[in-house]
Structure 1
């Protein structure tokens, strides 16, 4: 052919090119003559098609590089797109930029489809600036170009830029894809842009996308997150509702803490609309059952799941465990767990968490050990649950074990776990380790500071807690409600009225005093400072009161010796249609006990079940035992302890009340019987040894008194002396038994002796005019 005239050679090449185009191979050429390369070209393009169809993207790039080294020029847009797509699928910027440079050199970026593929590749490699550079350099942009750019920003979570480019595209008149519209809706939903949602709603109707159920459901979900009333209106206007539409509404009610409405929607979906729920729907329904803590409704939902044959779904099974645990039916939760065919980590965490929630800490530890035997590795959630048992049993060794496990697994950056670990060390009395953990945190959030403030208060260091609060304000700025409540608790422990008033002022300035929980804490704080008038004033000014607020006021009157006023508060609750709970009942019984209102206390205790439909727990029985013991009615107290319902057994608090009363009334025989029981129940409580020693000493049994102190010393129990606190000029003054270091010590002792003499005269029935 080299000897043929030039015109004939060109005609041959033209014929060959036309032949290649006929079979889709016209995009391949050789830098030299084409005819000898025909078999290699056909092999190359076939290989590209095969690799692309199989999703072998790495091999596509390898084959592309081999073709280039062999001298094959690839100019067919469809093949180029497969090469660029391979780069984007692998999110490999190392390949993407060289391919882009090669395309620019070949002049192939003029094809819109090629530029769109390059842009998409950059977006998936999270190189938005390079993608924007390609977009801006495009001579002709189509709807795909806009969709790729907007979809890329929104998909990677850059919502502000994504929505901004979406607005520009609308001005340019592009046609969005369904996926881009859905992402735009999700973007508005994530950053709560209600007005933008309204605009999108109108825009979708205008461009004819309103008929798409997927778009409608996406918009419905956004409304349900931001404005439930708008979601209800839209749902009523929808001509076509599928299972997703109903599921979105049920989840929306659940999100807005209206679980009962979500359950009603589910009933309507099944009974009226005749739509079968799917797994997602039933998970939301079960969450609603857990939220309202209705065991009956939960069992009905379980029966529905069984009837539909969906009980094998792991999400549903885990939700059932959660329902039963929150409804206090742990046995049913365990039954679901044991019947599961495929337990995952969530299943194990759910049952461990359920045991902890129901205060079955030994069972929680046993299940944690079973996890290890089954080869299931614990995660952060598991360890947080185990730490709850460490706090309950005040078990430092377990706490350290969890700490070591967290370090081995590299969970140091998990703030939730380390806050729980800090709290566990605090509850175990190791405040210095808690400080080390706290100081080692790179970023301390509000929860971290609140944990330390609360922990210092718990360990009897309210002054340090207040200092920590001031440091937090300097470092973090505005506190939240939890932090303020912890500050108020610290002030209540310090019992200094001046500090308490300052804390009240901080709550007002931060606009948190109006919250019910904060207001209730303020009421409790003033009560513990002895300022019951301030406590009542704050209570009366609260715009919203719940049963805890009323209970705090009842308890405040009780701890300040105003038992009759506490009972009056109970009557006021009835007038305001506020039903007392078990905490209220305990406050009433405590007030009657300390106020000497035995008959009133017994009457209320008997009416708890019949009139108020309240469960009488161990704390209530212990309080009544204390009440009877203080009144010297030991026989009735012991009879009550014997009559406790099955499952309740008198604990140290009840026996401690008997021991204290035995000392007060000089009943040595009763005390001797009680001491062994209380030391068996609480062998590590120093107060029990001191009380027993004091009782023996008061009866002249000095050898027994010394034996108690010696026993405490042998067991390594430090004896902590009790103290009294008196407010003088808004300051709390503490007086420890036997301590004469106070500058006014002698004067105070003289006053106390005079008061004691007055009390003895009053007990004998004489008038106390001289006092």
Structure 2
């Protein structure tokens, strides 16, 4: 009778040994297989240390079996062992069952530091920071000794909550307890201080005696995060050259991001060479950052080369290059890349779709926009805020504002970006009333506007050209404390300019605390638009006296003012100064504006001579050719009519302006057949006529009168006025006739 018992005991010992051996090498299925053999033998485990290995296997393979093992432990009375209780807690904590972890902890009669560490890690890992902090205070009263993982997680918890004062007090505790010398703890504190301010981080960094690669990486990442690319690159240089610390992939990702923010392609290429020398050009994350660097620096060719040399790619790799193509306006290449991406078997994610929607928006491709919308629905991205905002924006830019509104209405809780996008969409489609309505609805939903929302509101009010609305929007900016901001203040002065209130524009300009070149360009354009070209020129001189160098936009504003005011000599002088005095690059817009100026003044020979001097590769715009065509009509010069007309129709085939101008000119010259043919061509091409209109302000409200309108809601208000004006004109004409008759009679 004793032999089976001995055999059973021997087998049990062998199986226990096999469980421990299999566990040490991570063969979890074998661990559970041996445990089942023991259960089938009907014997009880005496060595309670084996349970920790069995629970580790359950953690990897079967949560339900782990609960069964826990029940078996309770039945056998092993739960009273602290080490066993710790193993059970560890199983539940790492499985995410925080409630069960706490339950076991509370039932333990004897707790050691391991017990406290496990339950604390469970709380902090699950994001239950407040409960974790309270438990940590209790643990200290019991003489608890935290391990490194617990200390690091506590610091990370303070950082996540941005509870920096508590974090600094914890820093004091670490100093008092002698735990600050641990490098990983120092690095965690360093990361927290980078969020507080780089001065705090720099102070701690200087105190760290043994700085490892993580210490340097945290500092470099902190500088990059605070847009201090120069300090980030200097730290990197110091780390490698002075201290000889071996860099890793994480370090180089931060360095590349800093270099991208700095925008210096020369430094970027030096870092690329450094990566190759250190063998980091095979790191996927590093290479993705390198592609992004080249794209942001505008060197798209180098980005393509780096992309092609990657040994393997993920969705981030494709999106980085795709974003680069879109950012650099290489839309055809972006679409080709997307085709290659699909052929490679990589599925588009939300970032891919947002980039494609940007292309649709720029090209106004409604068909592709709808195809992407269908893909969004199939992939379930209609719950992604970024995708939906981009889709709303794309439909609006394709002039399908109704589709944008439908999507907007389906969003239960739009965020501030969604509201701003909808306001911008209505404004883009020439619907300022609807844009302002959406803004008021946003206010009713208790959503506070941000600066972008305010800029969209100011643009809508500028489009409506109503002074009362503009003053209201100005008041919103004042209440937000943004009226003196350069960007917002510039938008305010532009808004008043569109309303014809040049004095208000000047006051808004004077209120800007720090005026930049954009602000000066805007006020110069405002004076030019409202018929004050001499004042615009005076502002240019005033700006130069203050030491601000005009950029091409400023010069274009001045040229436009000269064009509206007929100041030919002044315009020619400004045009010459752009290249000679300021050394700025002449753009096509400058040539077009000067051609327009010369053509309006009747200087056709000079205008055509200027066209011939335009550098190869530049193509004159339709507006300049239109000015030439109009001048040909006004000054009865028919020599260049056909050439100018062909250019206009080629550049703007869907615009009615060129067709109507040509038809009117032919009719004025008696060429009725050509005039009729131009009208027929316009109808054949389906070009719609955009009627002219007049804008009149009555009782602080703007009203438009479209050419050809015979009915108007407020006609009863204006008809008596118009009749009186008509009568006055007839009386004035009669007096002139009477005077003329009298003169003849003498």
Same fold (TM over 0.5): yes
In the TM superposition, what are the counterparts of 1:374-413 in structure 2 within 5 Å?
374-413=344-383
The separation in 2 between residues aligned to 1:749 and 1:367, in whole angstroms, is 65
The separation in 1 between residues aligned to 2:700 and 2:74, in whole angstroms, is 81
The answer to which of 227-236 and 506-515 deviates more is 506-515
In the TM superposition, what are the counterparts of 1:83-94 in structure 2 within 5 Å?
83-90=54-61, 93-94=63-64
Pairing 1:350–2:308 present: no
How far does the alpha carbon of each residue in 1:332-387 deviate from its partner, in whole angstroms, 9 at most, with x for none? 22222233332332222222211211111112112222222333332221222122
Pairing 1:54–2:25 present: yes
Pairing 1:555–2:525 present: yes
Pairing 1:540–2:510 present: yes
For 1:768, the equivalent position in structure 2 comes to none
For 1:486, the equivalent position in structure 2 comes to 456
How far does the alpha carbon of each residue in 1:556-590 deviate from its partner, in whole angstroms, 9 at most, with x for none? 22222222222333333334443433333332222
Is the 1:286–1:319 Cα contact (8 Å) retained in structure 2?
Answer: yes
Is the 1:446–1:476 Cα contact (8 Å) retained in structure 2?
Answer: no
- The match for 1:716 among 686, 697, 710 is 686
Is the 2:101–2:122 Cα contact (8 Å) retained in structure 1?
Answer: no
Is the 1:668–1:699 Cα contact (8 Å) retained in structure 2?
Answer: no
- The match for 2:8 among 20, 37, 55 is 37
The separation in 1 between residues aligned to 2:515 and 2:48, in whole angstroms, is 71
Is the 1:668–1:696 Cα contact (8 Å) retained in structure 2?
Answer: no
Change (3 A) 1:276 1:601: farther
Is the 2:549–2:582 Cα contact (8 Å) retained in structure 1?
Answer: yes
For 1:250, the equivalent position in structure 2 comes to 220
Pairing 1:188–2:174 present: no
Pairing 1:726–2:696 present: yes
Pairing 1:466–2:436 present: yes
- The match for 1:77 among 33, 48, 60 is 48
How far does the alpha carbon of each residue in 1:465-492 deviate from its partner, in whole angstroms, 9 at most, with x for none? 1111122222252121111111111111
Is the 2:484–2:511 Cα contact (8 Å) retained in structure 1?
Answer: no
Note the residue ranges of structure 1 that are not aligned, 5 or more in a row: 2-11, 17-32, 759-771
Is the 2:416–2:448 Cα contact (8 Å) retained in structure 1?
Answer: no
For 2:742, the equivalent position in structure 1 comes to none
Q: Cα offset for 1:668?
A: 4.5
Change (3 A) 1:618 1:208: same
The separation in 1 between residues aligned to 2:580 and 2:309, in whole angstroms, is 40
For 2:597, the equivalent position in structure 1 comes to 627
Pairing 1:128–2:128 present: no
The separation in 2 between residues aligned to 1:116 and 1:186, in whole angstroms, is 24
The separation in 2 between residues aligned to 1:163 and 1:614, in whole angstroms, is 61
For 1:5, the equivalent position in structure 2 comes to none
State the SS of the aligned residue for 1:478: coil
Change (3 A) 1:392 1:82: same
How far does the alpha carbon of each residue in 1:158-206 deviate from its partner, in whole angstroms, 9 at most, with x for none? 3333334334433443211112211222222222222122112222222
For 1:706, the equivalent position in structure 2 comes to 676
TM-score, with structure 1 as normaliser: 0.88
The answer to which of 666-675 and 590-599 deviates more is 666-675
Is the 1:75–1:108 Cα contact (8 Å) retained in structure 2?
Answer: no
Change (3 A) 1:135 1:609: farther
For 2:662, the equivalent position in structure 1 comes to 692
Change (3 A) 1:536 1:713: same
For 1:118, the equivalent position in structure 2 comes to 88
Q: Cα offset for 1:517?
A: 2.7
Pairing 1:241–2:207 present: no
How far does the alpha carbon of each residue in 1:4-55 deviate from its partner, in whole angstroms, 9 at most, with x for none? xxxxxxxx9xxx9xxxxxxxxxxxxxxxx94452243134313422432232
Pairing 1:428–2:398 present: yes
For 2:737, the equivalent position in structure 1 comes to none
Change (3 A) 1:587 1:142: farther
Is the 2:426–2:435 Cα contact (8 Å) retained in structure 1?
Answer: yes
Q: Cα offset for 1:142?
A: 1.6
How far does the alpha carbon of each residue in 1:279-324 deviate from its partner, in whole angstroms, 9 at most, with x for none? 3222222222211222222233233333434333333332222222
The separation in 1 between residues aligned to 2:137 and 2:547, in whole angstroms, is 54
Is the 2:369–2:394 Cα contact (8 Å) retained in structure 1?
Answer: yes
TM-score, with structure 2 as normaliser: 0.90
Change (3 A) 1:287 1:142: same
The answer to which of 628-637 and 465-474 deviates more is 628-637
Change (3 A) 1:662 1:147: farther
Pairing 1:144–2:114 present: yes
State the SS of the aligned residue for 1:311: helix
The separation in 1 between residues aligned to 2:726 and 2:477, in whole angstroms, is 37
Is the 1:352–1:368 Cα contact (8 Å) retained in structure 2?
Answer: yes
Change (3 A) 1:188 1:701: farther
In the TM superposition, what are the counterparts of 1:217-616 in structure 2 within 5 Å?
217-616=187-586
Q: Cα offset for 1:528?
A: 1.3
How far does the alpha carbon of each residue in 1:61-102 deviate from its partner, in whole angstroms, 9 at most, with x for none? 455455335423235332212222333334x55344433333
Change (3 A) 1:543 1:58: farther
Give me the CA root mean square deviation: 2.8
State the SS of the aligned residue for 2:326: helix
The answer to which of 313-322 and 699-708 deviates more is 699-708
Is the 1:666–1:698 Cα contact (8 Å) retained in structure 2?
Answer: no
- The match for 1:618 among 553, 574, 588 is 588
State the SS of the aligned residue for 1:732: strand
The separation in 1 between residues aligned to 2:550 and 2:132, in whole angstroms, is 53
Q: Cα offset for 1:326?
A: 1.9
The separation in 1 between residues aligned to 2:465 and 2:566, in whole angstroms, is 25
Q: Cα offset for 1:751?
A: 6.3
Change (3 A) 1:701 1:511: same
The separation in 2 between residues aligned to 1:158 and 1:655, in whole angstroms, is 69
The separation in 1 between residues aligned to 2:693 and 2:72, in whole angstroms, is 85
State the SS of the aligned residue for 2:298: coil
The separation in 1 between residues aligned to 2:203 and 2:533, in whole angstroms, is 53
- Count of aligned pairs: 726
For 1:9, the equivalent position in structure 2 comes to none
The separation in 1 between residues aligned to 2:114 and 2:524, in whole angstroms, is 69
State the SS of the aligned residue for 1:73: coil
Change (3 A) 1:447 1:59: farther
Is the 1:324–1:332 Cα contact (8 Å) retained in structure 2?
Answer: yes
- The match for 1:68 among 39, 47, 72 is 39
State the SS of the aligned residue for 2:16: helix
Change (3 A) 1:44 1:303: closer
The separation in 2 between residues aligned to 1:556 and 1:459, in whole angstroms, is 23
The separation in 2 between residues aligned to 1:300 and 1:451, in whole angstroms, is 40
The answer to which of 588-597 and 657-666 deviates more is 657-666
How far does the alpha carbon of each residue in 1:591-615 deviate from its partner, in whole angstroms, 9 at most, with x for none? 2222223322332222224433433
The separation in 2 between residues aligned to 1:604 and 1:55, in whole angstroms, is 79
